[in-house]
Amino acid sequence: MHSPRVVACAFIIALVAVALIYLWTYENGVRSNAMLDSNFMVARLSVESYNISHLYYAYLAYTAQQQEEGYMNATGIGDCDGYSPCLGMLFVFQNYSDQCFWMKNTGIPLAQVWFTGNGTAFGAVYEYNATPYDLQPVCYNGTMVLETAPGHSIRDVSSIRIDGILSRG
């Protein structure tokens, strides 16, 4: 049997070790919510599937800098600043044109869905499951691209609409 002093010392050492590991992972960007410190706004989305409307949230990549950054160096989809359910990141472009995506410095698997439409309702036109770190660009015509976790039944989406932009809190 160990003396109470030895047990207390072991407990303090373990506590300090956990604190150091936490600080190291936080400083090196290894956390489950990789988008926590992002500059992305969050959009409230109405997603229609089989004539049923669902409410989702997604990070909004609207500027060229945001679109270039996307999920680079992220360790997860994120939590949309606490809004739930978080669908991923929605890239909105000024014009209907070829939009090319690659997975440079992106270590999480993503499904990418291209949308086109009239500015309010958009229909899914193409879906691609991207491989982490793949530098081969995938291009398709669209006005919006949604990056989400593979496995979402995005293929069944008939429309997606931005219902509002939420300010960062």
**How large is the greatest C-alpha to C-alpha distance in the chain, in angstroms?**
74
Task: Read off the pLDDT of residues 26-43 as tens digits, 9 standing for 90 and up.
Answer: 333 333 345 545 679 999
Strand partners, 87: none
pLDDT at 7: 44
Helix (H, G, I), strand (E, B) or coil at 108: coil
Banded pLDDT at 4 (limits 50, 70, 90): low
Question: Which DSSP symbol is given to 12?
Answer: H
Higher pLDDT, 18 or 135: 135
Distance of alpha carbon 82 from the chain centroid: 13
Contact 131, 109 (CB under 8 A): yes
Rounded mean pLDDT of 2-17?
A: 50
H/E segment holding residue 161: strand 157-166
Kindly report the number of other CB atoms within 10 A of residue 24's CB atom.
Answer: 10
- The full DSSP string for 13-37 is HHHHHHHHHHHHHHHTT--S-TTTT
Q: Compute the distance between CA of residue 56 and CA of residue 47 in angstroms, rounded to an integer.
A: 7
